[in-house]
């Protein structure tokens, strides 16, 4: 078994580049890390380009033997702990990461979903990752991101999705206003979350709706509000005026779920 010990190895250098969005975009690849995410990737038949294993984890028998059998059919490389440390973004890594091919770049929207979640300028990776998990948990197939939103393949986003990134189609809208106008042609109505909203999420009809969640600080942009059919809000009984973007999205999605299951 050959073990890579040099940070100047070409493959290692290319994997390190994937920490930056421009290289993720140009190579159409991203990194996943940790045993659970790699098991999920295998389960979902995601295209795994390479698996990197820390040699010391093998020697210490930190990795499950069954998983080692599973990854044996993939292109694996083994590296020293020093080299693995250059690749990982995790404080306490599990000694395994993989390079994954991104989803198809095809940006066709599935109009069979009852609701479509759109994110306008979401910046926090944790928020985006949590929203992707929530969308997945509700059985929704896709999410639309504005160009101003954080990269969905950012390592922090990927980790916080807990595997949902393999199941939810991510569509990046070059021009979100035009994308929404086109969706409306398919008999969807666009509703934007707003503190000034006049309609409660508990009174809204959830059939064929595009629900827009705005930036954590500024909310939904004026341009998007102008093309919206309605502005909705979550009723507040206390003094707090707004909620975290992922919390708000979760409340809205699970009001939709409640109606589906009751």
Residue 15: pLDDT band (50, 70, 90) is very high
β-pair partners for 50: 99
In the chain, the number of structural domains is: 2
Which domain covers residue 149, as residue numbers? 115-261
The residue assigned the tokens 């595009």 is: 210
Same-domain status, 169 and 254: yes
Residues 150 and 191 in one domain: yes
- Of 101, 127, 155, the position where a domain reaches its end is 101
Task: Note whether 129 and 187 are same-domain residues.
Answer: yes
Looking at the structure, tell me whether residues 181 and 144 fall in a common domain: yes
**Residue 139 sits in the same domain as residue 15:** no
Q: What is the pLDDT of residues 189-208, one digit of tens each?
A: 999 999 888 899 999 999 99
What is the mean pLDDT of the segment spanning 26-52?
95
Beta bridge partners of 232: 193, 199
Query: What is the overall mean pLDDT for the chain?
Result: 93
- State both tokens at 222: 């004026």
Least confident of 21-30, 101-110, 237-246: 101-110
Percent of the chain whose predicted confidence (pLDDT) is above 90 = 82
State the pLDDT at residue 150.
Answer: 96
Assess if residue 54 is contained within a domain. Answer: yes
Residue 203 is part of a domain; what is its CATH number?
3.40.1280.10
Residue 189 and residue 1: Cα distance in Å, rounded? 58
Total-model pTM:
0.92
């Amino acid at each position: 078994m050959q073990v890579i010990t040099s940070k100047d190895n070409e493959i290692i250098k290319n994997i390190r580049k994937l920490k930056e969005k421009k290289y993720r975009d140009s190579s159409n690849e991203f990194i996943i890390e940790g045993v659970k995410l790699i098991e999920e990737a295998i389960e979902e038949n995601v295209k795994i380009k390479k698996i990197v294993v820390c040699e010391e984890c093998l020697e210490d028998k930190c990795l499950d033997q069954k998983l080692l059998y599973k990854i044996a059919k993939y292109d694996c490389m083994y590296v020293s702990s020093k080299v693995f440390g250059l690749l990982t973004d995790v404080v306490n890594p599990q000694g395994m990461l993989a390079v994954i091919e991104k989803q198809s770049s095809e940006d066709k929207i599935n109009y069979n979903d009852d609701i479509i979640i759109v994110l306008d300028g979401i910046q926090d990776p944790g928020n985006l990752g949590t929203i992707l998990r929530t969308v997945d948990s509700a059985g929704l197939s896709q999410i639309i991101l504005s160009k101003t939103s954080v990269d969905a393949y950012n390592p922090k986003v990927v980790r916080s999705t807990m595997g949902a990134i393999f199941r939810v189609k991510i569509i990046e809208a070059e021009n979100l206003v035009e994308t929404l106008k086109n969706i409306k042609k398919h008999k969807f109505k666009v509703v934007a979350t707003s503190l000034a909203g006049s309609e409660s999420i508990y009174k809204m009809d959830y059939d064929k709706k595009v629900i827009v969640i705005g930036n954590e600080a500024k909310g939904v942009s004026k341009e998007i509000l102008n093309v919206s059919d309605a502005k909705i809000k979550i009723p507040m009984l206390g003094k707090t005026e707004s909620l975290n973007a992922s919390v708000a999205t979760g409340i809205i999605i699970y009001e939709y779920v409640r109606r589906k299951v009751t």
